[in-house]
Amino acid sequence: MNAYTIRLDGNESTGPEGSYLLWAYGRSGLEVEERDSLEDALGWFAAVSEGDRTSPECIEGPAGVVPTRQVAAWVAATGNRSRAWQSAYRDMWAGQVRHVVELRFPGSDAAAEFFACDDLGDAITIVGRLNRPGRVRVVSKVFDLRRGWVPERAVIDWEHSAQEAA
């Protein structure tokens, strides 16, 4: 009989209390980490499986090695749930607008996103607080399912922020 109950439905997987050793090959060779529960160990295994620096090998629990097929099935089920959640989250954002305050690097045209919010008033408040004439702008962006946040229009452009300060 298997001492480990691996749940694929999102409920907590359980096993005997004790130490769970996580075996993997990393850049420096064989590595081992410890977790307190089977659920934590499975989460680590899934996270490491997605990376490219470490190759997880097995989970060794108090009752021996957790069956590899069950671990692989848990990792796959978790990935599927995560992708479904991400898809629903992306669908929820479709068409949403946010206002981004961009700030230019001194003496350059290079700019970085400084602040993003849903309320244009908050963005305008940030522009006033920054007080960097000619170096601040606010861009409205719309979320597109295929392209992510896409600039729609400059609400306050670089020249306007310079004129406001004058």
Along the 166 residues of the chain, how does pLDDT read in single tens digits?
579 998 988 888 989 999 999 999 988 889 999 999 999 999 989 888 877 778 889 999 999 999 989 998 988 888 777 777 777 777 788 889 999 999 999 988 899 999 999 999 999 999 999 999 899 999 999 998 888 889 999 999 887 765 554 4
What per-residue string of b and e applies to 19-48 under the rule 16 or more CB within 10 Å gives b? Answer: ebebebeeeeeebeeebebbbebbbbbbeb
The pLDDT score that the predictor gives to residue 165 is 46
Q: And the tokens for 150?
A: 């896409």
The pLDDT score that the predictor gives to residue 166 is 42
The pLDDT score that the predictor gives to residue 49 is 81
- Looking from the CA of 128 toward its CB, the CA atoms found within 13 Å total 6
Q: Are 58 and 66 in contact (CB under 8 A)?
A: yes
